[in-house]
Copies of this chain bind each other. A is one copy, B any other.
Amino acid sequence: MSDFSAACPLPLRDYPHVLLAHGGGGRLAHELIDTLFRAAFDNPLLAAAHDGAAFPSPAARLAFTTDCYVVRPLFFPGGDIGSLALYGTVNDLAMCGARPLYLSAGFILEEGLPMQTLWRVVQSMAAAAKRAGVSVVTGDTKVVERGNADGLYLNTAGLGAIGHGLWIAPAAVRPGDAILLSGDIGRHGIAVLAARAELELESSIESDCAPLAEPVQALIDAGIEVHCLRDLTRGGLAAAVLEVAQASRTGARLDEPAIRVGGAVRSACELLGFDPLHLANEGRFAAWVAAPDSERALTVLRARADTANAARIGSVTSSGRASVTIRGTLGTERVLDMPSGEQLPRIC
């Protein structure tokens, strides 16, 4: 669980829980916005108290993205819905090769949510925004009746500046490209599952929830010819590789022993029957780079603490009937396929 100890600036004795009126257009809603949200996300754009934020355009090219967050439970080892919503959108911008700058935050609160819970989530978002170097510049709050939102849901949208001339998109991937992975996989999925089921796993596994803009920027600054980037959220590494293959009409061959899975995650997967390739991550990405740049890209990533375990895990091939294959530890090759749904709903 996150530990945020600053006292809630709204008097909890008066408002121990979120009321329907906190989502109305009246005094209570204004108090919530002025006292709680503006205090946490303090910045001049938000302080303008307007219907939106206005600012000079930060670059000639922009990236724009959004995600909703419905993770259950709200708090899990290594993160919570607040940091998840912040980093999730920061990471989607990073995957466009953009420097994340401005975020919006939309809250759907359930009547009766403890105000202290909301305050912890907001503090966590504010801390994550600081770490990622972004500002939450505009927002909205709605409150729905008890039983209609499972505590709280969050949406963030984000705007980033693209400062390079690369074409980073699934369609830019070419046969021969190297596929790099930024670190070990599966921790977020298992951490949320364990928190949900109150599982007593042998060792506690923390979510990998983290911002990815800096390692991406390091690759771009080093002049690496990056063709595509994907953070490995819902559907995990498998879905990312399959999606990019489909969108770029290429295939891929992965090398399973090169894909790092921590011992605790591996044990949990064996116990619970999960495949780490399909587990969600919130601080890991794959990069498709021109093959000649592959070693240099790994050097750049390995020089950073957050991507020290980066590895080349495969290559892009020409499309074939079984377009994405993976060579296992015993050398046998199998076809990687997209599951119909997901192993675990409400993971982000």
Residues of chain A having any CB pair with chain B under 8 Å: 19-30, 48-70, 91-93, 95-98, 102, 104-108, 137-145, 147-150, 153, 155, 157-160, 162, 168-171, 229-231, 233-236, 239, 243, 247, 278, 280, 338-342, 345-346, 348
Q: Is B21 within 8 A of A341, CB to CB?
A: yes
Q: Is A53 within 8 A of B57, CB to CB?
A: no
A148 / chain B contacts, CB cutoff of 8 Å: 148-150
Q: Is B68 within 8 A of A28, CB to CB?
A: no
Closest B residue to A55 by beta carbon equals: B62
Q: Is A340 within 8 A of B25, CB to CB?
A: no
A155 touches which of B52, B98, B155, B341 (Cβ 8 Å):
B155
- Report how many copies the assembly holds: 2
Q: Is B54 within 8 A of A140, CB to CB?
A: no
Assembled-state Cα–Cα distance A142/B158 (Å): 18
Assembled-state Cα–Cα distance A292/B343 (Å): 65
Q: Is A53 within 8 A of B26, CB to CB?
A: no
A64 touches which of B22, B30, B55 (Cβ 8 Å):
B55
Closest B residue to A170 by beta carbon equals: B49
A338 / chain B contacts, CB cutoff of 8 Å: 26-27, 30
Q: Is B345 within 8 A of A52, CB to CB?
A: no
Identify 11 new A-B residue pairs, CB closer than 8 A, beyond the known A52-B160, A68-B140.
Answer: A20-B342, A51-B96, A52-B64, A52-B96, A53-B63, A56-B61, A57-B59, A144-B345, A148-B148, A148-B149, A149-B149
A342-B57 contact given A96-B51, A108-B68, A144-B70, CB 8 Å threshold: no
A104 touches which of B30, B138, B142, B157 (Cβ 8 Å):
B157
Assembled-state Cα–Cα distance A147/B93 (Å): 32
Closest B residue to A233 by beta carbon equals: B25
A26 touches which of B24, B62, B66, B239 (Cβ 8 Å):
B239
Closest B residue to A89 by beta carbon equals: B52
Q: How far is the CB of A55 from chain B (nearest CB, A)?
A: 6
Give the most central of A57, A60, A68, A168: most B CB within 10 Å. Answer: A68
A106 / chain B contacts, CB cutoff of 8 Å: 66-68, 106, 155, 157
